[in-house]
């Protein structure tokens, strides 16, 4: 596999590293573009081999000016990215915290609460089926509507199966509200950050050249419960942009949320890097014209990330530093 990044900044040429990484080393081989010898351009680095370990991006996605080097040391001062050069945008569910199972359990509790049935059978989302939903469509209400469109309209304690789109939307709204209540209770008990994500976020917050934000497809109420519990109010207050699914009219894989985040920060799309965990999020990032790093989960690890345009794939962020992405 061979590819090259476009020229992102004046006088910079960076090779794309298309390898599949894990914390135990690189799986497979990768090739970088042929070195660029012209004056004013940085040569791409040699190809990796599978035996090399403990690496992430040997050729970072972006290069900053030597006159304004990045600061790796994390400090407690508020973010001062008034005129950022680049942006690092995190998805929430699956990237910051592993929430798939918490969401699934909460949906099933809501379905049970409403005695939701299709053709007389209780609606229950299994682990395997929820993986399909997660990898097909973003957002809770779109998931339910997709499921009902495929499997039939549900009867519930509210009455017979909806006969109109308006009636279906009303039922889905009630189900989502009930699911959110269950989800918030579960999050309070068990949610914790994935390895390395808060450390990388802190590096970005502390750096005056990097804008940092979170862009989630989750509903605002559930999203706020997660980020307040796991990310924390102090860290959230120093982010440059925080957006949930309620802030946009179209959910991922539509790129709208990343395009709006970019506009809020005031950068062009080629200056933004997104961290996602699934094909749905990857399509949103690439649709917005942004670089995308995948930190996969157990339910997304077999997805064709590179074939869909991922710029790097890692098991988690424990060995990823800001200097691996920007320098």
Residues 299 and 181 in one domain: no
Task: Say if 30 falls within a structural domain.
Answer: no
**Is the separation of the CB atoms in 136 and 121 below 8 Å?**
no
Q: Is 91 a catalytic residue?
A: yes
Mean of the per-residue pLDDT values for the chain? 80
Residues 121 and 159 in one domain: yes
Residues 158 and 261 in one domain: no
Both tokens assigned to 151? 């499997």
Exposure pattern of 21-37 as b/e (b: 16+ CB <10 Å)? Answer: beeeebeeebbbbeebe
Residues 292 and 247 in one domain: yes
Residues 79 and 183 in one domain: no
Q: How many structural domains compose the chain?
A: 2
Task: Say if 152 falls within a structural domain.
Answer: yes
Full domain range(s) for residue 128: 100-190
Q: How far apart are CA 184 and CA 223, in angstroms?
A: 9
The active-site residue out of 83, 93, 240, 324 is 93
Both tokens assigned to 161? 């199966």
The active-site residue out of 91, 202, 277, 311 is 91
Residues 90 and 209 in one domain: yes
Task: Say if 17 falls within a structural domain.
Answer: no
Residues 131 and 80 in one domain: no
Q: How far apart are CA 179 and CA 170, in angstroms?
A: 14
Task: Say if 57 falls within a structural domain.
Answer: no
Residues 105 and 177 in one domain: yes
CATH of the domain at 257: 3.40.50.1000
Task: Say if 310 falls within a structural domain.
Answer: yes
pLDDT at 288 > cutoff 90: yes
Q: Is 93 a catalytic residue?
A: yes
pTM attached to this predicted model: 0.69
Domain boundary among 164, 190, 216: 190
Task: Say if 19 falls within a structural domain.
Answer: no
The CB-based long-range contact list for 64-70 (8 Å cut-off, 24+ gap) reads: 64/209, 64/326, 64/327, 68/209, 70/207, 70/209, 70/210, 70/322, 70/323, 70/326, 70/327
Domain boundary among 190, 216, 247: 190
**pLDDT higher for 187 or 289?**
289
Domain boundary among 175, 190, 205: 190
Residues 303 and 200 in one domain: yes
Residues 158 and 262 in one domain: no
Query: Quick one: pLDDT at residue 68?
Result: 32
Q: Write out pLDDT tens, residues 158-205.
A: 999 999 999 999 999 999 999 999 999 998 888 899 999 999 999 999
Q: Write out pLDDT tens, residues 138-148.
A: 889 999 999 99
Q: How far apart are CA 253 and CA 255, in angstroms?
A: 6
Residues 90 and 136 in one domain: no
Task: Say if 13 falls within a structural domain.
Answer: no
Q: Write out pLDDT tens, residues 21-37.
A: 333 333 332 322 222 22
Residues 253 and 273 in one domain: yes
Task: Say if 31 falls within a structural domain.
Answer: no
pLDDT at 220 > cutoff 60: yes
């Amino acid at each position: 596999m061979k590819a090259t990044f476009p020229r992102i900044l004046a006088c910079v040429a960076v090779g794309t590293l298309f390898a599949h990484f894990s914390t135990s080393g690189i799986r497979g081989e990768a090739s970088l573009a042929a070195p660029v010898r012209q004056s004013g351009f940085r040569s791409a680095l040699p190809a990796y081999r599978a035996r090399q370990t403990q690496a992430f991006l040997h050729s970072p996605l972006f290069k900053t000016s030597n006159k304004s080097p990045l600061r790796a040391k994390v400090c407690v001062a508020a973010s001062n990215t008034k005129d950022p050069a680049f942006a690092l945008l995190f998805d929430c569910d699956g990237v910051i915290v592993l929430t798939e199972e918490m969401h699934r359990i909460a949906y099933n509790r809501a379905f049970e609460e409403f005695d939701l049935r299709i053709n007389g059978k209780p609606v229950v989302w299994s682990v395997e089926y929820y993986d399909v939903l997660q990898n097909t469509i973003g957002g809770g209400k779109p998931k339910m509507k997709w499921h009902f469109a495929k499997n039939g309209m549900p009867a519930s304690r509210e009455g017979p199966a909806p006969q109109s789109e308006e009636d279906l939307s009303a039922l889905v709204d009630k189900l989502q509200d009930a699911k959110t209540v269950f989800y918030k209770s579960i999050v309070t008990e068990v949610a914790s950050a994935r390895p390395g994500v808060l450390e990388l976020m802190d590096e970005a917050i502390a750096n005056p050249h990097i804008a940092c934000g979170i862009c989630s497809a989750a509903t605002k109420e559930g999203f706020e419960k997660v980020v307040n519990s796991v990310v924390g109010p102090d860290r959230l207050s120093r982010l440059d942009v925080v957006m949930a699914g309620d802030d946009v009219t179209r959910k991922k894989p539509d790129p709208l949320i990343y395009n709006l985040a970019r506009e809020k920060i005031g950068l062009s799309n080629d200056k933004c890097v997104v961290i996602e965990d699934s094909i749905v999020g990857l399509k949103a990032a690439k649709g917005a014209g942004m670089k995308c790093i995948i930190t996969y989960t157990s339910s997304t690890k077999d997805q064709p990330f590179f074939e869909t345009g991922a710029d790097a794939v890692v098991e988690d962020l424990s060995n990823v530093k800001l200097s691996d992405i920007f320098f």
